[in-house]
Amino acid sequence: MTATDRQSASFTQTFGILVNSKPVIKESMNTLFATQGIPFAAKLSKTLFIDPDNQPITISAKVSPMSNLPSWLTFEPLTNILSGTPK
């Protein structure tokens, strides 16, 4: 990139652009089933998602991008465990 003023003085700076790839699903996941009133727990595989750029991944859980998990269900990202007792 070069900037030039009216007297033709200029400065040039080069730079690179690093494109970060989004994480991808590496493994398929079966449907999880829970029974009302009975404690539920499921450990998700640590390799369920991978980052093509080998950067660390933080996993969170939601019903949809705009809706949190039901009040009875929690996700612990350090252990990748979904747990709770369905109401």
**Percentage above 90 pLDDT, the chain:** 62
pLDDT at residue 30 tops 90: no
The residues pairing with 3 across neighbouring beta strands, listed in sequence order, are 11
Please check whether residue 71 lies inside any domain of the structure.
Answer: yes
pLDDT at position 86: 95
Task: State which residues form the domain around 60.
Answer: 20-87
Phi-psi region of 49 (alpha: psi -120 to 50; beta: other; left: phi over 0): beta
pLDDT at position 40: 96
Handedness of CA 19, 23, 25, 27 (dihedral sign): positive
Please check whether residue 3 lies inside any domain of the structure.
Answer: no
Please check whether residue 4 lies inside any domain of the structure.
Answer: no
pLDDT at position 18: 83
| Pairwise CA distance, residues 87 & 79, whole Å | 24
pLDDT at position 79: 93
